[in-house]
Chain A
Amino acid sequence: MEIQELKNISTQVRRDIIRMVSAVKSGHPGGSLGCADFFTTLYFDTMDNNPNNFSIGGVNEDIFFLSNGHISPVFYSVLARKGYFDVSELASFRIIGSRLQGHPSVDKGLPGIRIASGSLGQGLSVAIGAALTKKLNKDNKLVYVLTGDGELNEGQIWEAAMYAAGNKVDNIIVTVDYNHKQIDGDIDNVLPLGDLKTKWQAFGWEVLEMDGHDFISIKKTFAKAKSLTGNGKPIVIIMTTVMGKGVDFMEGTHKWHGSPPSDEQEQQALSQLQETLGDY
């Protein structure tokens, strides 16, 4: 897809995010905004997926897992914009009875979701399991997963990292949202991750890096990652992003991790994001 088209979608997705969390005064805008460009490229350019005929099994299509489930607004918006469900349903985010739970769930049958996430650290294991099933089924499509950087504090991530490399699970592409922020502040002040690239390499992974707000970089890195699959090593992309990207007063601070804007702040944010595809 052309860069300008991706930009248009991504801008609308950011509007959706702001409107969703503002409507219920609840949710996680910061990380969602930071991952809008990633999600847009993944769903509209990179993955071979099937929005019209969703099945949890996802046989013979690329599948994606969101491990850091709290950035559900960006996930829901991209799924809706891609056609998994009607965009009007975004208005039900976090409302009682909604399929758009605060954190993604499968029990209400929302197309596009294959596992619940929210309690951190679990999605990588799940994605590796799904990748193993693809291998057993001789299904050559790929498994993608996104984790947060703060999420890497969880031990299960490293259990999974050890497993995937040790067992040559080479049909999986992990992306780490490296925005350097977690709830209590800068990751270096909460629990330093050290040299993240070297850590993954030491665990036996192929490591790529990209700028999560440069569509050319994202497209190129995904293409490179795909070309590296099937070579006996799992692949991780360390993606540098800015939390809150696209709304000036939300950028680069952990303050908007789990806080919605006020009505006035919502208007201020929306004035910075052009309505490119029509609001839901």
Chain B
Amino acid sequence: MKHIKIQNEKDTRSGFGAGLAELGRKNPNVVALCADLTGSLKMNEFKDENPHRFFQVGIAEANMIGLAAGLTIGGKIPFTGTFAVFSTGRVYDQIRQSVAYSNKNVKICASHAGLTLGEDGATHQILEDIGMMKMLPNMTVICPCDYNQTKAATIAIAEHQGPVYLRFGRPKVPNFTDENQKFVIGKADLINEGKDVTIIATGHLVWKAIEAGRILLEKGINPEIINIHTIKPLDKKAVLDSVRKTKCVVTAEEHMMNGGLGDSIAQLLGAEMPTPIEMVAVNDKFGQSGKGEDLLTKYNINTPDIVKAVEKVIARK
């Protein structure tokens, strides 16, 4: 895994901001809406360059989703921006009826997802959003792992016809994927070829999986590491091809165990290839205030937890 190098540390939300700004320059149909969090969502560049295509809606997320659904009628491609907690649970019914059921071309862009939001605490640390969004028919669910990938994903979803949920976060994290990558929705990234276990991670936990992989290699365990940036539709082939080889799986995500990535993988394996699986995810608890890293440790979803889960699942083979 020596080939994976940290280029710098950047927040994924800035990747969204950069991608949106680029879209603003090349696609005149892209419009953006924000519910009083323009700075937090890094939408200022788009706003400054395209004032007539930027809609400040105030602290009124339900209206924002409705406006976005309406803006598609006549050909616009709206990107909504607010925290993940307000992008999903607060407006679930609006997304369900006006966006997903109506199959509108709305891109719901959600920052500050998960525990690494940090000190603001559980009211803001949504851990259920992937579950809520993946349950909706027509919805594509994407959770990129770093700055470069979030930027590429933001640009890619404008080309996809249909509703998308794009999840990203607040803290600066290692930026290690290719700056010029082509983001393909629904296509898993193979980060490391291995043979003893398949580690499937999404979002911020992809880097943690790489850290865990380095520790495992020193212990003589050679893990295959897959980045699932698209949780729905799931790249079933990539998962099954790997698991056929390794015969056991660990999933890792900054999300609730119920309804998350691990849940999707378990559903797939249960149907196609019953295999021992361990899930590194938050187990039916709300978060709390603290530093992001400390919270990942406290809620047992940090690097050492992935290592432990791998050792446990290999023993179950």
Contacts and interface: CB of A to CB of B under 8 A. Distances in A.
Interface of A: 56-59, 63, 105-107, 114-119, 121-134, 136-137, 139, 155-156, 159-160, 162-163, 166-167
Nearest to A114: B73
Nearest to A121: B62
Interface residues of B, number: 31
B41 to A, nearest CB: 19
Nearest to A117: B97
Contacts of B220: none
Contacts of A137: 74-75
B88 to A, nearest CB: 16
A105 B137 CA distance: 14
Given A122-B97, A130-B70, A156-B60, 8 more contacts: A107-B103, A119-B93, A128-B63, A136-B76, A156-B63, A159-B60, A163-B58, A167-B55
A162 B98 contact: no
Contacts of A129: 66-73, 78
A118 B97 CA distance: 8
Given A132-B71, A156-B63, A163 B98 contact: no
A188 B101 CA distance: 33
B60 A162 contact: yes
B103 A57 contact: no
7 contacts: A57-B73, A59-B74, A105-B101, A107-B101, A116-B97, A116-B98, A160-B63
Given A116-B97, A125-B66, A136-B53, A130 B60 contact: no
A129 B63 CA distance: 9
Given A106-B102, A136-B76, A137-B75, A126 B70 contact: yes
A56 B53 CA distance: 21
Q: Is the interface of B mostly helix, strand, loop or mixed?
A: helix
Contacts of A159: 58, 60, 62-63
From A125, A128, A163, name the one whose CB has the most chain B CB atoms within 10 angstroms: A125
B84 interface: no
Of B55, B75, B97, chain A has the most CB atoms within 10 Å of the CB of: B97
B62 A155 contact: yes
Contacts of B58: 159, 162-163, 166
Of listed A63, A119, A126, A163, residue having the most chain B CB within 10 A: A126
Contacts of A133: 70-76
A156 B71 contact: no
B52 interface: yes
A116 B101 contact: yes
Contacts of A107: 101-103
A218 to B, nearest CB: 25
B53 A127 contact: no
Top 3 A-B pairs ranked by shortest CB distance?
A129-B70, A125-B66, A133-B74
Contact of A139 (B69, B70, B74, B78): B74
A126 B101 contact: no
Contacts of B67: 125-126, 128-129, 132, 160, 163
Contacts of A115: 69-70, 73, 98, 102, 104
Nearest to B28: A136
Nearest to A134: B74
A126 B69 contact: yes
